[in-house]
């Protein structure tokens, strides 16, 4: 994917002003999430706006895209205003810890900060986007629990080794595993990523697996781009 931009089947992403560029994680999450057909969706840490645009393509929902970093929020607005769904997506430059809404959300999507215990990234904006400098898992899950409707569902993508700490923190905040998909680079290899959904009260479904480059992965993302671009 180009550092300057990427054209999907139904929308284009410019990303020159965003610290974190479009990546496979967001594409997988946006395609995998079992979003409602109608209602309200919250995109936490929207970055370029990719998850909001994918959600708009897949559903008839109204979407709020919250981004703390001003340049990224401005970039998201450009991308969303250039799309055919701009009337259904509202970009808000705010800290999700302080963000309030008049109504709860039926779904929350988020590609959250990784590497929370690592050294700070060289660029401050990249650190904000990538390392949870301003948003720990606990702060994220507190906000999600506050903003999610009673029957709503949260969808995230995580490094495999962050899954158990994330689930423990989620449980403290009253959110529990529903769906789980382990993503690996080859059959038999340990997963690199997990796609996870959380609900307030549910019985976990059986975990599934996805191998990058497999027919299943190609089919999953086929609404958005042709494999191998």
Share of the chain above pLDDT 90, in %: 79
Calculate the alpha carbon distances from 5 to 59, 71, 129 in Å: 24, 15, 18
Q: What is the structure's pLDDT at 55?
A: 98
Grouping H, G, I as helix, E, B as strand and the rest as coil, residue 78 is helix
- Could you tell me which residue, 221 or 134, shows the higher pLDDT? 221
Convert the pLDDT of each residue in 17-39 to its tens digit: 777 778 899 999 999 999 999 99
Using only C-alpha atoms, what is the Rg of the chain? 16
**The pLDDT of residue 146:** 98
For 76-134, what is each residue's pLDDT tens digit? 999 999 999 999 999 999 999 999 999 999 999 999 865 433 323 333 444 444 433 45
Mean pLDDT of 51-75: 97
The β-bridge relationship of strands 105-110 and 148-159 is parallel
122 in Cβ contact with 160 (< 8 Å): no
Q: How confident is the model at residue 226 (pLDDT cuts 50, 70, 90)?
A: low
Burial of 37 from C-beta contacts in 10 A (0-12 / 13-18 / 19+) = exposed
Sheet containing 40-44: order of strands: 89-93, 62-67, 40-44, 105-110, 148-159, 193-199, 176-184, 208-211
> Each residue of 133-183: pLDDT tens digit?
457 999 999 999 999 999 999 999 999 999 999 999 999 999 999 999 999
User: Rounded to two decimals, what is the model's pTM?
Assistant: 0.89
């Amino acid at each position: 994917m180009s550092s300057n931009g990427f054209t999907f089947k139904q929308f284009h992403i410019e990303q020159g002003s965003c610290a974190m560029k479009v990546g496979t994680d967001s594409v997988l999450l946006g395609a995998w999430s079992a979003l409602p057909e109608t209602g309200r969706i919250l995109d936490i840490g929207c970055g370029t706006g990719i998850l909001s645009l994918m959600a708009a393509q897949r559903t008839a929902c109204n979407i709020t895209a919250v981004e703390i970093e001003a340049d990224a929020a401005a970039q998201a607005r450009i991308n969303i205003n250039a799309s055919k769904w701009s009337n259904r997506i509202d970009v808000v430059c705010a800290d999700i810890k302080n963000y309030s809404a008049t109504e709860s959300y039926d779904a929350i999507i988020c590609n959250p900060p990784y590497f929370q215990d690592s050294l700070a990234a060289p660029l401050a904006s990249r650190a904000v986007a990538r390392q949870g400098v301003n948003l720990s898992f606990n702060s994220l899950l507190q906000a999600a629990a506050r903003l999610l409707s009673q029957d709503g569902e949260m969808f995230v993508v995580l490094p495999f080794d962050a899954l158990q700490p994330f689930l423990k923190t989620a449980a403290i905040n009253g959110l529990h595993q529903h769906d789980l998909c382990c993503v690996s680079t080859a059959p038999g290899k340990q997963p690199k990523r997990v796609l996870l959904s959380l609900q307030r009260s549910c019985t976990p479904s059986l975990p599934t697996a996805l191998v990058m480059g497999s027919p299943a992965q190609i089919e999953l993302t086929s609404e958005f781009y042709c494999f191998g671009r």
